[in-house]
Structure 1
């Protein structure tokens, strides 16, 4: 896999590092901050980390002893891709999605380890509870009362284009090394995002090749780099990525494992903002400009402003979905939308 241009990326700001003494200190910091931070050695005592330090084969053996005998989803790319899982020239994907048992996948990784023409092999966001027995119990971070999704990511050298996720994210390197390049939420205009429906993994991605940026085609990317932060994580290190921060992720070793935790600060029964964006593209974007201006103003009034004067003139018992949402009122909105979309 080609190295990033050092004249660009070595000049980036580093993600701040913090010291965490216990679960309570981590919990407090996660509640207080809205910025990324690194904790060196947070998961250094995990058995999986210890196995990986002995060898890649021992890490794979550790997982094989605990995996369930079910097919895993795996992405397999072209050796010519340099590990970059991205679009092809026709805006399809430059990799294939397959399903195979974990021993078969690891056998392919074993057979290709050390080869210059090895294809990238990547298992993304595998639910630890669903696909393994006892793995999470022996290798996890205490996140207090947060309801989190624990996922494991395994594979060879890879480059994952800059994207963001709706939940907060604590990413822990278990085996290998990973480089993260992060951008604040508002930098999306400078990242040159691709389609929001045709994506490699469900989220819009930056079209910029971070190893060979084309500043003529993507001149605003220089501004994004001025706000970027970067960090290289060793096995045992962890990185906190706040919700909606953009992140480009590189697996730097022949074999890499990441465990991450996603959680939302809002109730699960609330809707997904991405669904609202998709619906707005369907129903608002093609309207005449004067009508779009009206709807922008109305969204500001009801959604983004949401000030007291929106409902002050309505009796409290009659405010319906303009009142603070509950699981019941959210359910009514969802049912109404489903009926309308089915017409």
Structure 2
């Protein structure tokens, strides 16, 4: 059994402030049916019309494509025993890649091609005007994901994500961040396309390598989107994405809706790994209490008993404390 995603009325989301408060702040995925249905990008004749529009804005750049043989059935993944990958990579002109994808859609040989994360400002400048959403900040530019029927392995992003289906159908299967220990996550520094992936999410039921996954297998949130539909995926939510038709185009927007500055939380985790991960369990537990108190604030603000003007660098980050703390951290890292 799987669980359906909650649904929001996309017509009622007319500005970013409302979207941030109503959809993003709760930190749960939400389906946005029809959010992109009025896009000029979708005004042509189906998938081929979208490809034609992309060609109109082509900047003559190059991009990487994944090419998979018939036997992988569009499931881009590691090779057995994590010995490399089960597909090849090529750098091609974007126009050539689009042509290969369109010409080979539904081909008899079963070969699949996938071209992803194409930034509009680099590859299709000007197309942003054809993909606007009223609840996404204008400064956030779209990215394009184009290919044949495929499955992108279950992974997470460190940014908030609004993904819109422009052609074909997409099936999203999602697990919450706290499922990380049950998903048997692969290497974090040798990945398929940048982010670590779950090795268990696409496994057959009862696979003896992944016993913990069986307890959550049927608790996934699953939704199938058609052209014009969108989905909001909060950062760190695990998601497997399947393109279901011979020719598919996805447009997504990534941004951090709650950043206090430019430093990513992932950097803090990596630093914590080298400073804490191999210390004795008793010491790790002690530091966990400090993190819970000062960072995760399980019991509220650590200086709630003082007036705000008495809180020093634990006052609001926007009041200059972001840079003060950052300077302390940089000095410590330099050994000062």
* Structure 1 segments of 4+ aligned residues over 6 angstroms from their partners: none
**Residue 15 of structure 1 contacts residue 36 of structure 1 at CA under 8 Å; is this kept in 2?**
yes
- Select between 69-78 and 19-28 the one with higher mean Cα deviation: 19-28
Q: TM-score, normalised by structure 1?
A: 0.84
**Please, which moves more after superposition, 23-32 or 75-84?**
23-32
Distance 1:149 1:191 in 2: 31
Q: 1:335 & 1:309 partners in 2: Cα distance?
A: 21
Taking the TM superposition and a 5 Å limit, the aligned residue runs for 1:1-343 are 11-24=1-14, 28=18, 30-33=20-23, 34=26, 35-53=28-46, 56-91=47-82, 92-143=84-135, 145=137, 147-210=139-202, 212-267=204-259, 269-305=261-297, 307-310=300-303, 316=309, 319-320=312-313, 322-326=314-318, 328-334=320-326, 337-338=329-330, 341=333
CA pair 245-315 structure 1, distance change in 2 beyond 3 A: closer
Gap regions ≥5 residues in structure 1: 1-10
Cα shift at 1:230: 0.8
Q: Secondary structure at the match of 1:97?
A: strand
Conserved 8 A contact 1:185-1:246: yes
Secondary structure at 1:80 match in 2: helix
TM-score (norm 2): 0.86
- Shift of residue 29, structure 1, vs aligned partner: 5.2
Residue 30 to residue 276, structure 1, CA distance change in 2 (3 Å): closer
Query: Matched residues in 1 for 2:302 and 2:48: separation?
Result: 63
Mapped to 2, the partners of 1:170 and 1:339 lie a distance apart of 37
How many residues align? The count is 330
Contact 2:146 2:249 in 1 (8 A): yes
Is residue 294–residue 302 contact of structure 2 (8 Å, CA) maintained in 1? no
Give the CA RMSD over aligned residues. Answer: 2.9
Q: After superposing the two structures, state which structure 1 stretch, 96-105 or 113-122, moved more.
A: 113-122
TM-fit CA distance, 1:64: 0.7
